[in-house]
Amino acid sequence: MTSPCNSDTLAEIERRVLWLSTSMIHHANRIRPNPSGLKVGGHQASCASIVTIMTTLWFEQLRPGDRVSVKPHASPVLHAINYLLGGLDESYLPTLRQFGGLQSYPSRSKDPDSVDYSTGSVGIGATAPIWGAIARRYVDTAFGSTGVGRQYSLVGDAELDEGAVWEAVMDSSVAELGEIVWIVDLNRQSLDRVVPNIAADRLGRMFDAAGWQVITVKFGALLESLFERPGGSELRRRILDMPNAEYQRLLRCTAEELRLRLPGDGHSAPAVEKTIADLDDATLLRAIRNLGGHDVDALRDAYSRIDDTRPTVIIAYTIKGHALPTEGHPQNHSSLLSSDQYDDLAHALGADPDDPWRRFDTGSDSATVCASTSAALTRPPVDSEEPPSVPEDMGRTPSGISTTQAALGRALLDLTRAAPDAARRVVTVSPDVSSTTNLAGWLNKVGVWSPHERRDWFADDAETIMHWREKPTGQHMELGIAETNLVGLMSELGTTWSRWGQPLFPIGVMYDPFVERALEPWSFGIYAGGQSILVGTPSGVTLAAEGGAHQSITTPSIGLEQPGCVSYEPAFAIDTEWILFACIGRLGRPDGTSSYLRLSTRPVDQTLAAVPSDPSAREHRRRHAVAGAYTMRRNPECAVVLVGMGAVVTDTLVAADRLSEMGIAADVVCVTSPGLIFEALQARRGHGTAASWILDHVFPATRTAPVVTVLDGHPHTLAFLAGINGVRGSALGVTGFGQVGSLDDVYRYHGIDADGIVSAALDLVT
Ligand SMILES: Cc1ncc(C[n+]2csc(CCOP(=O)(O)OP(=O)(O)O)c2C)c(N)n1
Ligand SMILES: [Mg+2]
C-alpha cells in the first residue's frame, strides 16, 4: 500500500484525473473529425462521479497484488490514472472509441494499458473479481505462488439491479472471500433517470444478510460539521429523508434558491433554516454536494475499516457529474460539455484546453507522487507455463451401447491415467448437476475442491455412489444452480495462465437449454480472455422423456456463431473423446480457444461408428472428426448424400440402409462441427484464414448429389452444406419447442427419424 499523500497533492491529482477523463471524451466527440456524423459518446458525468474514489484507491490504497474491476463508463478515469502513472502513452489519449485506440469500456484484451477486468456488460464485470478470487485460491492450493491481494469492484449503483450481482453475492462460497471489496458509486442515477427509491439501507441489509461487511460513506467533513451545530440533526434528517430527485434538484439550485428549498416544509424547517443561515453562498453550495464519495477523509476512514475476514461493500454516496456543469442533472448520463463549458472547466481546474494532456511539472509534488505510486504498483511480468500436452488418442475403441455424455466422464478418467500432468489442470464446474451429467466417476477420483479439508459424512455409507470429498487438491467445483455464476467462474479459471502463469483446463457442464441463459456472460467471459469448455448435456429433443421444458433447439446455431469458440456435437463416444482432448489442447495459452460440446444421453451402438482398425485410417478418421466432419459411407453411384450430426446419426445410417434397399445409393457424412465446416467454406471463398482441406475430403467437388441434412436442433444450422457444391438440399431439424415424449415419438413428430430422412431423400432424387 502506498503511504497517504499530502491532501493538497492528492486534490491536485484528483483534479487532473477529472480533467483528463473529461478531456478524452471531449476530444472524441467535439474535436476529432467525425465524417459519418454517427454518435461517438462517452460518459463524463459517470466518470466525474467516481474520480475521488478511484484517485484515493490508486494513489493510497492499492498494492501490486490487488486487482480492480472498474465500472464500464469510468474507463476514461482508469486510462487517465494509467497515463499519470506512466503506463499509457500520451498518443492514446485522443483515441477514445477510435479503431485501434482506447475502448469504450475497460478491456483486458483490447486496451493498450493495464486493465485487470473487462467490463461493459453491466453486472458481469462487477462480479468477475469474485470468480477471480476463487480462481486465485484454486491456483494457489494446486500450484502455489499466486501471492495475495484484494479484488476490488467499482460498481455503478444501477448495476445492482442486475440479477447476476445477487446470484453471485448470495452464493454460499462467497461469504468466505475476505479479499473481495466492492465500492458502490451511489449517485442514485442510472442511464435514464434519477432512481426514485434507491434505499441504500435496504441494499446494505441485503449484503449484510449475505455475510458481507457493510460500510456506508454518506457525508463529507463539511456536512458532518454542520450536523454538529444546533439544528444540525434536523438538517441531517432532512437530507436523508428527502426523495432522491429532490436532492438532485437542489444540486441545480443557486444559493438563493437553496436557502428557500433546503429547509423543506416540514416541522423541522425553521431549525434547518437557522442552521444554514450564517453560511456564505459558496459554503452553502459546497455543503449540499459534500457527499462522502467525494471526501478524501471519509473514504480513507472507510478503507481503514475493511476487515478482510469477509467480503466488504463500501456504499459511497456520490454525485453524478460532480464538479461538472452537468452535475446532478437527471439526463446527464450521456450528456457532453459544450466547448464553452469545457473552457470554463479548464479554468476551474487549472488546466489548459489547448494543451489538455499536459503532465505534472517534473519535480512537482504531484509528479513525485505519481512516480512513487507507479513504482509501488508495478507487477512483475507473468511468465506463463506452457500447458502440458494432451494425448490425441487413447487407442481404445468403445464397443457396446453408450452415450456421448457418458463418454465425457470416461474420457476425463482416462486422462488421469494416460496424462496425469494434463489431468491435474482440469477443473470441472457444475451448477448442481454433476450426478445427472455423469461426472460421478471423475468426482470420486479427483474429489471436490475446497480450500480446507472437510469431513465426508457419507464416506462409510455403502449406498452413496458419488462421494463428496472436499479437499484442497480436489478438482471439481460446485456452485449453486445459477448458471451465470458458473460461466463467470469458468471464465476466471480460464484466465489464470495470464494472471499467475498457471494454465487450467476448465470444463463446465450444464443442461444444454441453460446454455442460452448463460450465453451472454459466457460470451463476455470469452471476450474478456477466459478460455474454457462448456458442455451442454443432455441436449435437443433427444432427451425425450426428461421433458419438453428442457429441450434445446437453437444451441447448435449458437455454437456455430459464437466468436472465440469452436463448437462440436459428436455422434459417438470415440468422437467425444478425440474432440474433448483436442479442445483441452487449445486451452490456457495466448492464442487459445474456448469450445462448446453438445452431448446427449441417447444410448447408441458404438460399433456403428465403424472406427477403422488400421492405425493410419484411424488417425485419418480422428483428424476429420476434430476438423468438423467425416465420411461414413461413400458409393461410386451416390444418388443422395445424407449428412447427420450428433444423436441423429443412428437414424441417418438406418435411412441410408433403407434407401440402399430401394436401389438408391446414399453416402453418409457425419458432421461434428458445423462451425468449422462453415469457416472452411468461408476461407475457400476468400473470407478468413481457416484451413479448408476438410472440404476437399468430405465434400469434394465430385460429390454433386443432392444433400439431406439432419440434426436435433434448428435445421438452418446445416442448411448451408448444400451450398458447398451448389447442389439441391433439404434441411431437417427441430423448429418447435416443448413436446415431451419417447425418443421415437419426438423424432417422428419433428420429422428427424429415419422415415423423415428417407422421405426427404426421395423428394430430392425422384
Ligand atoms: C447488461 C447491460 N444492460 C444495459 C447496459 C446499458 N447501460 C450501461 S450503464 C447503464 C446504467 C448505468 O448506471 P450506473 O450503474 O448507476 O452507473 P453510473 O453511470 O450512474 O455511474 C446502462 C443501463 C449495459 N451496458 N449492460
Ligand atoms: Mg448510477
Asked if residues 723 and 707 have their Cβ atoms less than 8 Å apart, the reply is no
pLDDT number for residue 280: 96
Cβ burial, residue 363 (10 Å; 0-12/13-18/19+)? exposed
pLDDT number for residue 437: 65
Residue 309: which of 175, 182, 127, 411 has the closest Cα? 175
438 pLDDT tier (thresholds 50, 70, 90): confident
Ligand 1 centroid from CA 42, angstroms = 12
Ligand 1 centroid from CA 71, angstroms = 9
Asked if residues 428 and 475 have their Cβ atoms less than 8 Å apart, the reply is yes
Question: Considering only CA atoms, which residue is closest to atom 17 of ligand 1?
Answer: 156
Question: Considering only CA atoms, which residue is closest to atom 9 of ligand 1?
Answer: 191
3-state class of 78 per DSSP?
Answer: helix
Say if pTM beats, i.e. exceeds, 0.85. yes
If one residue of 75, 107, 124, 190 were mutated to test the ligand 1 pocket, choosing by the most ligand atoms within 8 A of its CB, it would be 190
Q: What is the pLDDT of residues 169-190, one digit of tens each?
A: 999 899 999 999 999 999 988 6
Q: Is the pLDDT of residue 432 over 70?
A: no
Q: Which domains does the chain have, with CATH numbers?
A: 7-220+291-374 (3.40.50.970), 402-604 (3.40.50.970), 627-765 (3.40.50.920)
If one residue of 49, 78, 122 were mutated to test the ligand 1 pocket, choosing by the most ligand atoms within 8 A of its CB, it would be 122
How far apart CA 345 and CA 352 sit, in angstroms, is 9
pLDDT number for residue 147: 84
If one residue of 51, 52, 54, 73 were mutated to test the ligand 1 pocket, choosing by the most ligand atoms within 8 A of its CB, it would be 73
More confident residue, 560 or 434: 560
Ligand 1 centroid from CA 171, angstroms = 23
C-alpha cell at 322: 460532480
Q: Which atom of ligand 1 is nearest to the CA of 50?
A: 21
Ligand 2 centroid from CA 326, angstroms = 14
Residue 579: which of 401, 353, 407 has the closest Cα? 407
Q: Is the pLDDT of residue 338 over 80?
A: yes
Within the chain, what is the greatest distance between any pair of CA atoms? Answer: 103
The verdict on whether omega for the bond into residue 538 sits within 30 degrees of 0, i.e. cis, is: yes
Give residue 257's identity as a one-letter amino acid code: E
How far apart CA 474 and CA 496 sit, in angstroms, is 17
Give residue 435's identity as a one-letter amino acid code: S
Q: Is the pLDDT of residue 197 over 80?
A: no
DSSP bridge partners of 214: 313
pLDDT number for residue 479: 86
Question: Considering only CA atoms, which residue is closest to atom 13 of ligand 1?
Answer: 190
Q: Closest-lying ligand to the alpha carbon of 71?
A: 1
C-alpha cell at 175: 461469504
Ligand 2 centroid from CA 155, angstroms = 9
Q: Closest-lying ligand to the alpha carbon of 192?
A: 1
Task: Please provide the average confidence, as pLDDT, over all residues in the chain.
Answer: 94
Ligand 1 centroid from CA 603, angstroms = 47
How far apart CA 230 and CA 210 sit, in angstroms, is 39
If one residue of 69, 105, 191, 522 were mutated to test the ligand 1 pocket, choosing by the most ligand atoms within 8 A of its CB, it would be 191
Q: Which atom of ligand 1 is nearest to the CA of 120?
A: 25
How far apart CA 696 and CA 702 sit, in angstroms, is 9
Residue 492: which of 165, 133, 144, 173 has the closest Cα? 133
Residue 625: which of 573, 555, 681 has the closest Cα? 573
Q: Closest-lying ligand to the alpha carbon of 158?
A: 1
Asked if residues 360 and 370 have their Cβ atoms less than 8 Å apart, the reply is yes
> What residue spans of 252-292 are helical by DSSP H?
255-261, 269-277, 281-288
pLDDT number for residue 465: 67
Which of 139-148, 326-335, 449-458, 569-578 shows the lowest mean pLDDT across its residues?
Answer: 449-458
Q: What CA–CA distances, in Å, run from 191 to 30, 320, 520?
A: 22, 11, 21
How far apart CA 288 and CA 222 sit, in angstroms, is 9
Q: What is the mean pLDDT of residues 116-133?
A: 97
Q: Closest-lying ligand to the alpha carbon of 156?
A: 1
Ligand 2 centroid from CA 49, angstroms = 8
Q: Closest-lying ligand to the alpha carbon of 335?
A: 1
Ligand 2 centroid from CA 198, angstroms = 10
If one counts every other C-beta atom within 10 angstroms of the C-beta of residue 189, the result is: 30
How far apart CA 758 and CA 698 sit, in angstroms, is 21
Region for 613 from its dihedrals, namely left if φ exceeds 0, alpha if ψ lies in -120 to 50, beta otherwise:
alpha
Question: Considering only CA atoms, which residue is closest to atom 12 of ligand 1?
Answer: 190
How far apart CA 413 and CA 423 sit, in angstroms, is 8
Q: Which residues contact 726 (CB under 8 A, 6 or more apart)?
A: none
Proportion of the chain above pLDDT 70, given as a percent: 97
Residue 165: which of 134, 195, 137, 203 has the closest Cα? 203
Assign 3-class secondary structure to 442-453. Answer: HHHHHCEECCCC
C-alpha cell at 659: 434407401
Question: Considering only CA atoms, which residue is closest to atom 3 of ligand 1?
Answer: 122
Ligand 2 centroid from CA 319, angstroms = 9
Q: What is the pLDDT of residues 65-109, one digit of tens each?
A: 999 999 999 999 999 999 999 999 999 999 999 999 999 999 999
The verdict on whether omega for the bond into residue 636 sits within 30 degrees of 0, i.e. cis, is: no
Asked if residues 125 and 117 have their Cβ atoms less than 8 Å apart, the reply is yes
26 pLDDT tier (thresholds 50, 70, 90): very high
C-alpha cell at 762: 426421395
Ligand 2 centroid from CA 314, angstroms = 15
pLDDT number for residue 577: 98
703 pLDDT tier (thresholds 50, 70, 90): confident
Asked if residues 369 and 502 have their Cβ atoms less than 8 Å apart, the reply is no
Ligand 2 centroid from CA 193, angstroms = 9
pLDDT number for residue 303: 98
Question: Considering only CA atoms, which residue is closest to atom 8 of ligand 1?
Answer: 122
Residue 49: which of 9, 22, 79 has the closest Cα? 22
Q: Is the pLDDT of residue 62 over 70?
A: yes
Q: Which residue has the cell 419417447?
A: 742
Ligand 1 centroid from CA 157, angstroms = 9
Q: Is the pLDDT of residue 5 over 90?
A: no
Give residue 666's identity as a one-letter amino acid code: A
Question: Considering only CA atoms, which residue is closest to atom 4 of ligand 1?
Answer: 122
Q: Closest-lying ligand to the alpha carbon of 43?
A: 1
Q: What CA–CA distances, in Å, run from 45 to 335, 494, 503, 563?
A: 8, 34, 40, 33
pLDDT number for residue 192: 67
Q: Which atom of ligand 1 is nearest to the CA of 160?
A: 15
3-state class of 530 per DSSP?
Answer: coil
Q: Is the pLDDT of residue 1 over 80?
A: no
pLDDT number for residue 430: 85
How far apart CA 713 and CA 701 sit, in angstroms, is 27
Q: What is the pLDDT of residues 610-628, one digit of tens each?
A: 999 999 999 999 999 999 9
Cα 625 from chain centre: 30
How far apart CA 302 and CA 313 sit, in angstroms, is 10
Q: What is the pLDDT of residues 513-553, one digit of tens each?
A: 999 999 999 999 999 999 999 999 999 999 988 888 999 99
Asked if residues 337 and 345 have their Cβ atoms less than 8 Å apart, the reply is yes
pLDDT number for residue 389: 95
Query: Which residue ranges have their beta carbon within 6 Å of ligand 1?
Result: 43, 46, 49, 71-73, 120-122, 156-159, 185, 187, 189-191, 320, 333
Q: What is the pLDDT of residues 468-511, one digit of tens each?
A: 788 899 999 988 889 999 999 999 999 999 999 999 999 999 99
Q: What is the mean pLDDT of residues 437-445?
A: 83
pLDDT number for residue 466: 65
Q: Which residues contact 205 (CB under 8 A, 6 or more apart)?
A: 214
Ligand 1 centroid from CA 160, angstroms = 10
